[in-house]
Structures are given as C-alpha cells and as structure tokens.
C-alpha cells in the first residue's frame, strides 16, 4: 500500500503542560503547484483563522434539527469552492418533508470510495458559556414552545473540520486515489437525518461507499488528543412510548377507579429490574424514563398517564430483552391493578427515534488508529471504553455492518481546565449542557490533521 508522505511536524498551539513538548508528525503532503509542497503546519496556520471564523459564525447561528437551511447552504458553498460536485437538499423524512442533507463528491482516479460525515444540527438549549460568540438564537421547537438554540454537542466543530478536511484533500490530490463522498448530515439529534438521506436513495444516486468515517468532539479529552474504540462504540438507542390507562374518578374516592398515576410509579420502579435481574450484566443496558405526563388537578384521578422512555444497549439480544421486559411490566402492573383488558397498556416503539449500535469495524479501527498514532503521537491517542450515548452515523454502515465504519473522539477541552477538573475528581461540562465549551483553534487543528491523515491513508489504490 502506498503511504502518504511524512513532511514536517505539527505543534499544538495550546497551553498543555503534559503535551507542550510533544510534536505531531503530519501524514499529509499539500501540493501548492509547481513550487512543490509545503508542510502541514504552514498550511494549517494559513487556514486556521478562516476555519475558526467559520466555527464561531456557526456557533453563533445554530439551527435546530430539520431546520439546518443556512448551515447546509454554507457547507455546500464551501465545498463547491474547494472543487467538489455538490448536491443539496438530499433527504426525505418519514412525513415526506424535505431534509437539508448535503452530498459532495470529488473523484480522483481509481481507488476506494470513502464517506466522511459531519452532522449539522443544534439543540434546544439556552447557552450559558459566556464566550463572545455565544448563541443568542431563539426558536420554536416541534411542540410549538419557544426555546434557546445552541451547538451544545459540537456539530459546529464537526462542520468546520469537514470544510478544512475537504480543502486539504482537494489541495493534495497527488497523495490519494479514489472518490471522496462528503456528507453534511441533518437531524442527528433527532436521529432521523441519516435515515432520511438513505430513504432519498443516497447510495443509489451517488454510489455506495467502501468505507465510512466520522469524528465527534468530546469533553473527556484535551484538545490535541484523540480517543478511539474498537467494536461497539456507541449504544443502540430505542425510544418507547407507554400509555398506562386506568379509570378516572374523584381523588377522595380512589376505590371507585383504577389510578394510572399509582401504576406509573410501580412501573417506573419495576423497569430497573430489567437492568438488574433480566439482563446479563456483561451485556449492559440502560432504561430511562425521560418524560411523564398525567392528570390535570390534585383531586382528580386521571384516565391515563403517558411516559416516554429511552433504552440503550450494545447488542440486538439486549435490546429485545429490554423491549420485551417493558411490555411485560406494563401489562403486569395493569393486571395487578385490576384494569380491564379493554384498557390494557399501549406500548409503542418509536422507530423514527431509534438507532443502531455505532460499530467500529475492528480491522478498519486498527488501520485508523495506526494513522492517528503516526500523525499525532502515541501519547495523544487513547483507547476509549464504549459510550452509552447513541448516534445515527451507524445507519450509513447499513444493516449488519455491510459498510465498515469508524467514528473516533476528538478532544475539545482546554488542557489546563481539564487537568484541573480531573485533579478535583470532576468533569468539565459535557455535551448537551449549556456550558459545553470546546476550544476552537487547537480542536480544529487536530480534527483536520487527524481526518485528512486518515482519509489519505485509506484512499490508496
């Protein structure tokens, strides 16, 4: 296999007591025309101001899932300027509405086809970081409520990294051969964006990739470092709606009704026996009730209580045990309360909000990790444990991992703050919180270096 040229050293521009003396070998050659090549550190130094500006603009102007119109337009415009053939508005949601997916192709001779994904949507979170480029955006969510909007999961880092990677690879076509397929994905937070693009015949229209890779920033690692997991990396998520039905009445005469609020309390407590008594502890699961609604007044027993659950598992067997357990417990609680069969609980799997396991193909993971170690140094690449959060990136690998996929973790935290927090036994504010604060320059520098290096290594004849 042809190897990309090693041409210089990458030095992180952040205060990092442990790693300040480390240097990073950059697996990338940037062609600048007849004059030849320049090293990655020089190229990144020229690109970083623009990428940081792009990041801050995205951060200040986030868009909720299903509404990424301006973010998608920015991605499309930047990738066109970099020389890619771009198609916009790729994706159809289950309700038939159009998604804002972006697909950019760059063909460069014979070789594999590599998909690189970045997700674009933000969260209904009111930002409290206090940074100068903080979001002050207000919007309306799907329920009609006014909410703050924030890139509290770092998708602005992902998009900016994709743009930088696209530029680097377009400028360095002599180092790789094959086809790049860059994806600006909508609606990861509602976990229906990848499926929307696949439902719009993504692979039939643009070709099926041989490999797919992505990154995700994290508060667990310092900027300048990477974490990676082999095998199941992120849990599969299953969303479940449960309606416990009873017989309403006056709160002073509970004997005349069947109280669904009491049933809901018993149901919630018993759910955890799925985790502790029904599931193999070596194949972990999580069952969480995130929403419960019932009743209108303190002295009225309602007719029903609605609960919204999320479950997480790393195997199909664990998922099925969990779903079956939810059904049985709901039925058992209703039976013990004497609820008639005509008012049996309603348990619904919300397929549009369910995701597969994000599975890092072991062979591909080994290849990616070796490139990351060469590019960043062995002391800056960590083996991470699986994470119980869920993602829809795994959908791009298709069922049964038909396409090998890998997602790695991009450290995004200020190294001094992270070290201080760890010394105190604490964590810095993480994803989906109002105080999540990546440090832009070193995070983007490492992200582009890592992704470009991996792409070049994989795109060999």
Instruction: Choose the catalytic residue: 41, 63, 189, 392.
Output: 189
Q: Report whether 121 contacts 189 (CB < 8 A).
A: yes
Assess whether pLDDT exceeds 80 at residue 345. Answer: yes
Per-residue pLDDT tens for 112-169? 999 999 999 999 999 999 999 999 999 998 889 999 999 999 999 999 999 999 999 9
Write down the residue that tokens 């417990």 correspond to. 329
- The whole-model pTM stands at 0.89
Domains and CATH numbers, the chain: 6-235+357-458 (3.40.630.10), 236-354 (3.30.70.360)
Per-residue pLDDT tens for 359-392? 999 999 999 999 999 999 999 999 999 999 999 9
Phi and psi of 93, rounded to 5°?
-80, 170
- The secondary structure of residue 32, as a DSSP letter, is -
Q: What is the distance between the alpha carbons of residues 167 and 174, in angstroms, rounded to a whole number? A: 14
Write down the residue that tokens 């002050």 correspond to. 136
Per-residue pLDDT tens for 237-274? 999 999 999 999 999 999 999 999 999 999 999 999 99
Q: Work out the percent of the chain whose per-residue pLDDT is above 70.
A: 91
- Please indicate whether residue 374 is annotated as part of the active site: no
Write down the residue that tokens 């094959």 correspond to. 178
Q: What is the distance between the alpha carbons of residues 121 and 185, in angstroms, rounded to a whole number? A: 8
Q: Report whether 119 contacts 185 (CB < 8 A).
A: yes
Model pLDDT, residue 69? 98
118: helix, strand or coil = strand
Model pLDDT, residue 17? 32
Model pLDDT, residue 400? 62
Q: Report whether 400 contacts 316 (CB < 8 A).
A: no
What is the band of 39 on the pLDDT scale with cuts at 50, 70, 90? low
- Please indicate whether residue 441 is annotated as part of the active site: no
Instruction: Choose the catalytic residue: 41, 63, 119, 200.
Output: 119
Q: What is the distance between the alpha carbons of residues 356 and 234, in angstroms, rounded to a whole number? A: 9
148: helix, strand or coil = strand
For residues 201-219, give the mean pLDDT: 97
């Amino acid at each position: 296999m042809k190897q990309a040229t090693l041409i210089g050293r990458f030095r992180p521009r952040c205060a990092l007591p442990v790693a300040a003396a480390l240097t990073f070998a950059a697996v990338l050659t940037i062609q600048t025309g007849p004059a030849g090549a320049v090293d990655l550190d020089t190229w990144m130094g020229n690109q970083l101001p623009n990428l940081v500006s792009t990041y801050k603009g995205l951060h200040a102007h986030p868009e909720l899932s299903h509404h990424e119109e301006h973010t998608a337009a920015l991605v499309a415009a930047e990738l066109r300027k970099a020389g890619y053939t771009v198609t916009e508005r790729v994706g159809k949601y289950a309700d038939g509405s159009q998604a804002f997916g972006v697909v950019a192709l760059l063909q460069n001779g014979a070789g594999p086809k590599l998909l690189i994904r970045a997700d674009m949507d933000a969260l209904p979170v009111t930002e409290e970081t206090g940074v100068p480029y903080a979001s002050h955006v207000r919007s309306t969510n799907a329920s009609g409520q006014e909410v703050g909007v924030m890139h509290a999961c770092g998708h602005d880092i992902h998009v900016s990294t994709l743009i930088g990677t696209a530029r680097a690879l377009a400028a360095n076509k002599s180092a790789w051969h094959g086809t790049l397929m860059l994806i600006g994905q909508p609606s990861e937070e509602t976990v229906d964006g990848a499926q929307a693009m696949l439902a719009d015949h993504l692979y039939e229209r643009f070709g099926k990739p041989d490999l797919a890779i992505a990154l995700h920033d994290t508060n667990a690692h310092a900027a300048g470092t990477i974490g990676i997991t082999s095998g199941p990396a992120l849990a599969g998520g299953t969303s479940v709606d449960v309606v416990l039905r009873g017989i309403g009445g006056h709160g002073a005469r509970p004997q005349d009704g069947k109280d669904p609020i009491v049933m809901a309390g018993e149901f919630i407590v018993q759910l955890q026996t799925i985790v502790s008594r029904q599931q193999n502890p070596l194949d972990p699961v999580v069952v969480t009730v995130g929403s419960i609604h019932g009743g209108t007044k303190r002295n009225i027993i309602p007719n029903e209580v609605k609960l919204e659950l999320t479950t997480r598992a790393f195997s199909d067997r664990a998922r099925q045990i969990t779903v079956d357990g939810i059904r049985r417990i709901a039925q058992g609680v209703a039976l013990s309360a004497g609820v008639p069969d005509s008012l049996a609980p309603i348990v619904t799997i919300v397929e549009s909000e369910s995701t597969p396991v994000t599975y890092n193909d072991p062979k591909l993971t080994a290849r990616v990790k070796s490139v990351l170690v060469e590019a960043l140094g062995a002391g800056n690449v960590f083996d991470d444990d699986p994470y119980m959060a869920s993602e829809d990136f795994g959908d791009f690998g298709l069922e049964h991992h038909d396409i090998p996929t890998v997602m790695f973790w991009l450290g995004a935290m200020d190294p001094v703050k992270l070290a201080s927090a760890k010394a105190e036994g604490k964590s810095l504010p993480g994803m989906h919180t109002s105080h999540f604060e990546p440090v832009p320059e070193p995070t983007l520098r490492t992200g582009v270096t890592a992704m470009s290096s991996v792409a070049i290594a994989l795109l060999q004849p």
